[in-house]
Structure 1
């Protein structure tokens, strides 16, 4: 009742505000029912979105199992600390004996002279030219940058392929340059052409020579790799070597059955999560007499049933014709169980047959991938269509609630005006009654006096 002053009945003695609120409370019952309905659909929408998220996680795990590369996973075991190894696609099984003969280093140069300070002593003005490989950078030094720290900053701003800093030695401060990249091809040359000033840069001392990495493969007649970086990607196919120091290392590349097993368990875990979610939210518990918020929503139960059917169905051919052969079963409650020992044994004895069961044409993963694409399509999938339905219902309820709230506020305004009119009428009647009483008293007084 915005904008209207409400004062309980001064004449009638009625508690106007309380009466109006009681009337409004009774009139608000339909709004309360709509709000409860909206809450029900809001809960359903939230659960539906959760279900869709779990289906998307399941879809990702299925997609992984549909790829042949998942079953071709390999692992590298390294002895020795001269290098570390990361495998890429194309790595071949075998044992590789490697020797890091030298690691790549970055070229480092320092001024031959040391200086007493970094920002007071002035050098001349002119240019400093730095060449790194085929890149030539000419750096202008003027009155604003001709201190040691000014020169350092000018070099760093120029992005010449080197990093400049100032080091404090026993003799004083020196300008210290390091190539940003390692290897012979990134060695630097420095030419100084400064004139005037209190001090000069008269020469440079090589602190560390530029050096290529050098790695040997094999023993008697080793194959040799030499390159500018300690990250070697183009020596052994499918293998990235990160060189740490000189020394020897033996790298063994083998099938990674544990990674394949984990990919399968990731899939079964995602499926279990979804099936349990459906069970929890669509069933009725007779003991607690509570129902899941999605009870009666048959779409989810149909999806769950179809996923299980496609998982446990038999494929046309192969050594393993069903996931049951790998140790997967359903108990009498419909829960998915996995015998990890039997699964590991199947992977060890016939990895190719397991791959065929999942990733082969017409395999389990292919069937599930096709169905999940239909279910989770963000435009036409059945999950999306139901979500949009819930959103439309909630929007409609919001609009109806807002309209009814507006009407109720208008009704409360009318009730207030009616009570105000009643008070006004009673006030007028009281005034007239008082005047009439005064007239009668006056008349009686006049009559008695005569």
Structure 2
């Protein structure tokens, strides 16, 4: 493109710098609208940046609420104990039972250990056949002679054939059975021995019988697979250590456990007993760990004050800049701050206790909106009402009926008290047998196999242990229950077998309309147990109302109606429940966390405002593009007009020059000097 300013540069035309003139005219024309766009852009970009700072301040505040809304922060425990080689604490949970406990270890638990004879190599054959492992208690004789079977544990059989007929094959077969018996091969200097270790405890000891796969099996002698027998008939294995229970005294009360890892003696506290120490008492003190919650509360107060300082510069007068923040007139930002302040200053909804507001524990709001702690009131609250502090900050659920349990709540649950009325208690499905003719029941040579379906899941074939005699219905029920619950196919569908007067009852562990026990197949002799193929009785779902509104029942869980104030509560109803009142309060920590989470959510007000500002900036980009296009057209129009003017001026100059030359060349015309 030819520069339109060339005539000016060559000294031709009008002599006016039209390019500069056009640029100045365009600049004047553009300046007002450009100023408006620039001012708006600066304002929007500042607000967007400040909303980023506002969002960061909210996120920091929310982070400080994690511990504050956690109930375990207020139920944390500490434990004090002497340096002891007898009792060794290993874990303490929030909510552990506070108190002082004296523990005396009479003796620790031990596991039975059995060893075989010597083998020259681990690949030596051991003989073929079937080993049956029974579990129970041996007498304390050396060697033992009387074995009492543990009817709560089923027998386990292991087959040794050509695929695993070796010492190491037998070891692997035992370990692969996953029955709680550990097998290893030890070289004691004279050769290789199989060493078997049962689980610790008196009733976890082993009785091993053998059925040899031989033409003339002996089953109990010192040859072939019989070398691994250990029963009342033959003791071919050597007992290296007898199994026994741990015996302790806790606060003078005698207790026994099968293991040295004790987790169910003191609620929430786990410890190990390491050695026998009769007469030696170890005192353990479990105390409320108040420091954890105090640190969380003080940390929250500090973070909240920092939050106020950060947001004040954005929504109020910024003393550093000497001007108001960009969000000073932003109603949405101020509304969020107001909601946060109201949450902190108002009493906790649903909390009717003595501590239901921050002022009750000495946390007061100053004139500038910040929080300060009155140490005297704060320490007194911790000393006198520490359990109640939890309800001030963390969610709390309560029930007036011990058979109505509150197990959960939702984001939509509104704090308050709710009356619960049970119109149908939950029931389990069951199968009822017929009268059993007589006792004892002896399984020797009998086909007592049966196949069940529990809650829609089919079992494998269930068999009572062979060669056993049950003197009464209670023992028979216990053995059948153990056999059923040991079936892998029913690992998630356990049953309870009971003996009611003269017949067996098999009851599902599950509640609800889908809870059902059926016998789909029975062996030839199962009728002697009063059992036959058939379908049992279905269980029932719980039914009831919450605050007069029909609730939804599934199994033993009752859920309040959708849209009701109680919606989100999860109630577990136990058999025998009739009515009760459940209470729910969310606490300042959880309420504030939900509020901030809503502010920062993908559909929350912060994102909505940011999207709105970004939309305004996008529209300004469009306005800028439109202005630039209009100014380009305006500049082109002015340039064309000035170019046309220059052409006319140039023509006039040419005419002038021509006339001046003509006049100078006319006769009798004097020359200019």
- TM-score normalised over the length of structure 1: 0.59
Alignment partner, residue 210 of structure 1: 243
Where do 1:51-450 residues align within 5 Å? 53-54=59-60, 56-64=62-70, 74-81=77-84, 82-83=86-87, 84=89, 86=92, 89=95, 91-93=97-99, 95-113=100-118, 115-118=119-122, 120-132=123-135, 133=150, 134-179=153-198, 181-194=199-212, 200=224, 202-203=227-228, 204-218=237-251, 222-236=252-266, 239-247=269-277, 248-268=281-301, 271-272=304-305, 274-275=307-308, 278=311, 299-312=332-345, 323=358, 326=361, 328=363, 336-338=371-373, 343-344=378-379, 346-348=381-383, 351=386, 368=588, 372=592, 375-376=595-596, 384-387=604-607, 390=610
CA distance in 2 between counterparts of 1:206 and 1:290 reads 89
Cα 1:100–1:306 shift into 2, 3 Å: same
Q: Shift of residue 60 of structure 1?
A: 4.1
Cα 1:371–1:296 shift into 2, 3 Å: farther
- Give deviations 1:345-392, integer Å, cap 9, x for gaps: 542355477668668999xx9673585376246699797344366469
- Give deviations 1:95-122, integer Å, cap 9, x for gaps: 3222011122222222133x2222x322
Q: Secondary structure at the match of 2:81?
A: strand
Q: How many residues align?
A: 358
Q: Is the 8 A contact 1:136 1:160 kept in 2?
A: no
Normalized per residue, the structure richer in strand is 2
Q: Shift of residue 87 of structure 1?
A: 5.7
CA distance in 2 between counterparts of 1:110 and 1:40 reads 82
Q: Secondary structure at the match of 1:112?
A: coil
Q: Is the 8 A contact 1:98 1:217 kept in 2?
A: yes
- Larger RCO (alpha carbons 8 Å, 6+ apart): 1
Q: Secondary structure at the match of 1:146?
A: coil
Greater alpha carbon shift after TM alignment, 84-93 vs 166-175: 84-93
Q: Shift of residue 162 of structure 1?
A: 1.1
Q: Give the RMSD, CA atoms, in angstroms.
A: 5.2
Q: Is the 8 A contact 2:113 2:240 kept in 1?
A: yes
Normalized per residue, the structure richer in helix is 1
Greater alpha carbon shift after TM alignment, 279-288 vs 78-87: 279-288
Greater alpha carbon shift after TM alignment, 315-324 vs 123-132: 315-324
Q: Shift of residue 214 of structure 1?
A: 1.0
Cα 1:178–1:373 shift into 2, 3 Å: same
Q: Is the 8 A contact 1:76 1:251 kept in 2?
A: yes
Which protein is bigger by CA-based radius of gyration?
2
Q: Is the 8 A contact 2:600 2:607 kept in 1?
A: no
Q: Shift of residue 145 of structure 1?
A: 0.9
Q: Is the 8 A contact 2:55 2:600 kept in 1?
A: no
Q: Shift of residue 173 of structure 1?
A: 1.8
Q: Shift of residue 187 of structure 1?
A: 1.4
Q: Is the 8 A contact 2:128 2:224 kept in 1?
A: no
- TM-score normalised over the length of structure 2: 0.42
Q: Is the 8 A contact 2:332 2:605 kept in 1?
A: no
